[in-house]
């Protein structure tokens, strides 16, 4: 598949943004600078970035409780995200939503979501809306292996298949739902095989290979835009951290974590870009330095922003 130089570099930059953003949030959360809960996306960068690079700016995504990576990958603003995590009035939701409720309708980001499986019907509705309006838009739905055992998965994909809706269902199979190992609660090996139950394509892909994710998603997006209906894509990946920050890591063999961390997605991609002459070593370093500069600015912006006034607590509750 032909992939433009701009797209190749964008994917490198966005994966670095996700990696550094999450790494910094890990430290800031541990230092007690942020309230609430954070679920980090470290290790899964190639999924969000590969899938979103196949979308246009006005296409939709739905996200999950582990949403920072999806939001950055769709072009979300790190300053507004960081301020939201700090609970500041300058954040995406004026500091009232926190990590699990970040949305940006201008970028087609229909929201992170603390309810497991809730993004599936929302993305399906966005697909139905696009079809009825003949807008040509596509909705990509991110969800976990755990969510694929929820009723919403089956209901949403059934109706999307029956109506040929322009939706790409991207399952991030990171082997666990909190501390439950998926092999203990699911009989099928590949979640992708469940596509057969709805007569739609179901494809499994290495979720740590950004090019593989991009290619399979672009084909699914093209299919969706052509009116040929939804696709189910299972990305095999792993989360490096525990389910949420602060939870003890007692349920995973250390060797398993180590083995997956050795298969990290960014360094080999960077090497391949340099080997192919897409970027020089120096240019690759400049991209990373610029990401770190933007991130430092986002943290300073968040720290220096004011908290919401108590009187505003009941504003913005209804739309
Ligand atoms: C409807 C619902 N059930 C249970 C929970 C509690 N919960 C939060 S995340 C999670 C696991 C989700 O696992 P998965 O879908 O694999 O996503 P991952 O955390 O691995 O990214 C559970 C059970 C919830 N938030 N919502
Ligand atoms: Mg999971």
* Ligand in closest contact with the CA of 174: 2
Read off the pLDDT of residues 20-44 as tens digits, 9 standing for 90 and up.
999 999 999 999 999 999 999 999 9
- Atom index in ligand 1 nearest the CA of residue 173 equals 16
Residue with CA at minimum distance from ligand 1 atom 5:
116
Among candidates 93, 87, 53, which has minimal Cα distance to 72? 53
Position 318 scores a pLDDT of 85
Residue 103, number of CB atoms within 10 A of its CB: 20
The environment of the single-atom ion ligand 2, i.e. residues with CB closer than 5 A, is 144-146, 174, 177
Position 319 scores a pLDDT of 79
Position 127 scores a pLDDT of 98
Residue ranges in the chain modelled with pLDDT below 50: none
| C-alpha of residue 174 to centroid of ligand 2, in Å | 5
Position 61 scores a pLDDT of 98
Q: What is the mean pLDDT of the chain?
A: 97
Whether ligand 1 lies within 6 angstroms of the CB of 238 is answered as no
- Atom index in ligand 1 nearest the CA of residue 243 equals 19
Whole-prediction pTM value? 0.98
| C-alpha of residue 100 to centroid of ligand 1, in Å | 12
- Is 110:123 a contact under the CB 8 Å cutoff? yes
Cα 35 from Cα 288, distance rounded (Å) = 28
Position 106 scores a pLDDT of 96
- Atom index in ligand 1 nearest the CA of residue 148 equals 15
Q: How far is CA 29 from CA 34, 118, 239, 268, 302, in A?
A: 5, 26, 18, 29, 13
Cα 122 from Cα 263, distance rounded (Å) = 33
Position 4 scores a pLDDT of 98
Position 317 scores a pLDDT of 83
Direct distance between the N- and C-terminal alpha carbons of the chain, in angstroms, rounded to an integer: 43
């Amino acid at each position: 598949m032909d992939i433009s130089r701009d797209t190749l570099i964008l994917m490198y930059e966005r994966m670095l943004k996700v990696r550094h953003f999450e790494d910094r949030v890990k430290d800031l959360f541990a230092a007690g600078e942020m309230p609430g809960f954070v679920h980090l996306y470290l290790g899964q960068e190639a999924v969000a970035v590969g899938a979103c690079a196949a979308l246009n700016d006005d296409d939709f995504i739905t996200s999950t409780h582990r949403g920072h990576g999806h939001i950055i990958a769709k072009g979300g603003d790190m300053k507004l995200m960081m301020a939201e995590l700090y609970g500041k009035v300058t954040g995406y939701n004026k500091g009232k939503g926190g990590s699990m409720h970040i949305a940006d309708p201008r970028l087609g980001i229909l929201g992170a979501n603390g309810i497991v499986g809730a993004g599936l019907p929302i993305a399906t509705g966005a697909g139905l809306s696009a079809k009825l309006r003949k807008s040509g838009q596509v909705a990509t739905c991110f969800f976990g292996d755990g969510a694929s055992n929820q009723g919403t998965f089956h209901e949403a994909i059934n109706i999307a298949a029956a109506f040929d809706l322009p939706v790409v269902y991207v399952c991030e199979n990171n082997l666990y739902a909190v501390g439950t190992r998926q092999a203990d609660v699911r009989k099928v090996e590949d979640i992708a095989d469940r596509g057969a139950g709805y007569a739609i394509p179901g494809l499994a892909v290495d979720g740590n290979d950004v090019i593989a994710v991009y290619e399979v998603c672009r084909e699914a997006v093209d299919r969706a835009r052509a009116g040929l209906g939804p696709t189910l894509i299972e990305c095999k990946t792993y989360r490096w951290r525990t389910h949420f920050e602060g939870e003890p890591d007692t349920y995973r063999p250390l060797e398993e974590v180590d083995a997956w961390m050795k298969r990290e997605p960014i360094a080999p991609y960077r090497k391949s870009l340099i080997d192919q002459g897409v970027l020089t070593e120096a240019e690759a370093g400049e991209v990373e330095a610029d990401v770190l500069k933007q991130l430092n600015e986002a943290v300073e912006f968040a720290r220096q922003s004011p908290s919401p006034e108590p009187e505003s607590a009941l504003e913005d509750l209804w739309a």
